[in-house]
Amino acid sequence: MNRINRVLIGILLLPVVFGGLVLWSMGDRTESADRVPAAVVNLDKPVTMGSGKDEQIVAAGRLLAAGMTSPSDKASSSLGWELTDSVDAQSGLKNGDYYAVVTIPRDFSKTLSRMSGDDPAKAGITLQTNDASSAVIGEASKQVTEIATARLGQTITANYLKGAEEQTGKLKSRLGEAAGGAGKLSDGTTQVEDGARQLDSGASALASGLSTLSGGADQLATGSRKLSTGTKKLHDGTGRLADGLGLLSRRTDPLPSQTRRLADGAGQLSDGVGPYTKIVKGWSQACATNPAVSATNPQLCAGTIRAAGVGGRNADKLAAGARQLATGTDELADATPKLTKGIDQSAAGAQKLDRGAGQLATGSTRLADGTARLSTGAQKASTGADKLADGSQQLADGSGQLASGSDKLASGLRTGAEQIPKPSEKRPAVVSDPVEASSDNVSPSSDGVTTLLPAVLAIALWLGAFVTYLVRPALPPERLRMATTGRRVALSGWLPAVGIGLVQAALLFLGARLFGAEIQSPVGLAVLMGVAVASFTAVNQAFVAVSGQRRGWLLSIGFAALQLVSLGGLVPIDTAPGPFQTLNQVLPVARAADGFAHLILGGEVGSLAGDVLVLLLWGVAALAVTALAARRAQKLEPSDLQEPAARETLVGVR
């Protein structure tokens, strides 16, 4: 194989080798972060909460350490966290064995267990990194630690909310019971209101009755005082009656015997009057019939005639009266014992009457005092009944308000109970982590090779164009010596280089597919790679054509460096300073990489059209500059063309 072929093969393979090495070295790094060593030091001491059946051991440090060192799935894995002690962790951090160290303090679980207490506090962990090992890993460790603690916090919050859900369920039930109680209270207060209004009516009637009672009691008290005075007088009279009857009883004790003697004497008198009347009647008749007698005893006859009466009627009456007197005195003698006994009984009764009158006097005195007090009490009771009526009215009004308030309270409690959500097993987990981010990548990339491919293709194609003009002249000397236009000279130096670039692009495309890159639009990528090859070749040709080979190469290298620092991709260009963001929009490599990304990963057609337009403008402008340089070179002396001619002879291109 001659020297020309080896150089050509080198030109063709150099961009492919560069791109392959970059993809091989960088393609899987983003998926191998779990091989980056990092340490977890768990100093936490578990604590026990509750007692009996409710006893629970809190070991938050173990949960956090387990979540970092043994993630539940590969998607949750980050760095290569491993559990160790503090001495090994600090030593490893200093000598570079560990990129980061997370220390869980001794009171981690104890602090978290006080979350529902009166003095809650945040539990903290410590992250130590060594930027001398890797500043990027230090920042990544910080983010990973924050995510791990956030997940643990979500678990703790979910458990806390689960307990709160249970209490909320109890509260809902108790609010329902309270609403029922408030309803019963409303019913009861309504009844109280009705009763209070009845009490008000009754109290008013009672006050009126008590007022009447007070007036009657006043009259009763007046009458009672008069009665007391009268009973005292009665007591005095019955006392004197008892004394008189007692004296009469004592004086009439001998009356029966006396009346008996009187009856006996009356009987004897009657017995003696009978003969006497006969004698009187006889003298009277003798005096009337015998004048001698009357003449002899005129006074006796006159007296006897008067005593006998006409026809002896007076004497008969005297005899009859004596008999009646004897009979009456006899009957009197028989009745006198009963009379004396009745007098004795009357005396005894008078004494009892006296004692009763005394008691009546005492009672009437007490009655007078009691009725006076009754009058005063009735007056006070009347006043109290008035106040009771006022109070019962206020009670009725207050009961009505209480009933209304109880209704509102019951309604509010029912509404509150209805608004309290039912306990849910899902709610604690949802509330503790309420936002779920769904990933929808409009330009998904399954691996690092596909992600890196746009930038690698753009840089490799630029490198290919640069290398091509390291061994090829930008302006062929034989064309410069011909009588032709500068445009044709420029095209004669540009078209062969474009052909080489297209072969490089084809090899790069095949290499990318061999590395497993997933390309959304292979045909569009192939076309855009051709446009980029044409543009890059024209720009590198212009540098060499205007400034000569060595200076042109330096300009191309410097321009390549400027394009690299303004290139987007893995690190968004929006994070770069403003001038570099502007350059990213106008430099060919950056626009080519952006267009490749749209076609490889998928993207908007409008942006792709802008990228193609920028590449075409650079290509056209570069060819115009090269044509002007060729036109100027055609005016040079033959001696100025010796060096390029010698170079052309060296590479065997005629």
Q: Does domain 208-417 have CATH number 1.25.40?
A: no
Instruction: With cut-offs at 50, 70 and 90, classify the pLDDT of residue 648.
Output: very low
Round the average pLDDT of the chain to a whole number and report it: 75
C-alpha–C-alpha distance, residues 182 and 408, integer Å: 9
Residue positions counted in the chain: 654
Distance of CA 218 to the CA centre of its chain: 66
Residues 237, 222: Cα–Cα separation, whole Å: 23
Q: Report which of residues 276 and 268 the model is more confident about.
A: 268
User: What is the mean predicted confidence (pLDDT) over 165-179?
Assistant: 69
| Token pair for 52 | 């009996």
pLDDT in tens, 380-394: 877 887 887 788 788
pLDDT band at 613; cut points 50, 70, 90: very high
Query: Once rounded to an integer, what is the mean pLDDT over residues 240-269?
Result: 82
Q: How far is the C-alpha of 626 from the C-alpha of 621, rounded, in Å?
A: 9
- pTM, two decimals, is 0.46
Give the closest residue to 3 by CA, choosing from 464, 654, 650, 647. 650
pLDDT band at 195 (very low <50, low <70, confident <90, very high): confident
């019962």: which residue's tokens?
392
Nearest to 63 by CA among 124, 108, 120: 108
State the Cα–Cα distance between residues 515 and 504, nearest whole angstrom.
Answer: 16
Instruction: Quote the longest CA-to-CA distance of the chain.
Output: 253
pLDDT band with cut points at 50, 70 and 90 for residue 197: confident
Torsion of CA 630, 634, 635, 638, to 10 degrees: 130
Q: How far is CA 593 from the centre of its chain?
A: 57
Q: What is the pLDDT of residue 508?
A: 83
* Sign of the alpha-carbon dihedral angle for 640, 641, 644, 647: negative
Q: Roughly how many angstroms between the first and final C-alpha of the chain, as a whole number?
A: 19
User: Tens digits of per-residue pLDDT, 128-155?
Assistant: 876 554 545 555 566 666 666 666 666 6
- What is the rounded distance in angstroms from the CA atom of residue 336 to the CA atom of residue 615? 173
- Going from the C-alpha of 541 to that of each of 40, 99, 224, 635, the distances in angstroms are 57, 47, 147, 19
Q: Which has more pLDDT, 169 or 132?
A: 169
DSSP string, 623-653: HHHHHHHHHHHTTS-GGGGHHHHHHHHHHT-
Residue 621, pLDDT above cutoff 90: yes
Q: In 3-state terms, what secondary structure has residue 473?
A: coil
If one counts every other C-beta atom within 10 angstroms of the C-beta of residue 635, the result is: 8
Domain ranges of the chain: 208-417, 448-651
- Roughly what angle, to the nearest 10 degrees, separates helices 448-471 and 3-26? 160
Distance CA 494, CA 534 (A): 8
Instruction: Grade residue 442 by pLDDT with cuts at 50, 70 and 90.
Output: very low
What pLDDT, on the 0 to 100 scale, is given for residue 268?
84
Bridge partner list, 47: 58
How far apart are the C-alpha atoms of 56 and 202, rounded to whole Å?
65
For residue 1, give both structure tokens: 């194989």
Where are the alpha helices (H) located in 290-312, listed in sequence order?
Answer: 291-296, 298-308
Give the CA dihedral 361, 367, 373, 376, nearest 10 degrees.
-110
- Best CA proximity match to 463, nearest among 610, 561, 565: 561
Q: Which of 574, 593, 621, 601 is nearest to 19 (CA)?
A: 593
Residues 241 and 322: their CA atoms lie apart, in Å, by 37
Cα–Cα distances (Å) from 423 to 166, 177, 420, in that order, read 7, 17, 9
Contacts of 411 (CB under 8 A, 6+ apart): 179
Question: What pLDDT sits at residue 618?
Answer: 95
Residue 188: Cβ within 10 Å count: 15
Statement: residue 374 has pLDDT above 80? no
Q: What is the pLDDT of residues 71-127, one digit of tens each?
A: 765 545 566 788 899 899 898 888 877 878 889 998 888 887 776 666 787 878 888
Interatomic CA distance for residues 596 and 19, integer angstroms: 14
Helices (H) and strands (E) in the chain, counts: 19, 6
Stretch among 19-33, 495-509, 586-600 having the lowest mean pLDDT: 19-33
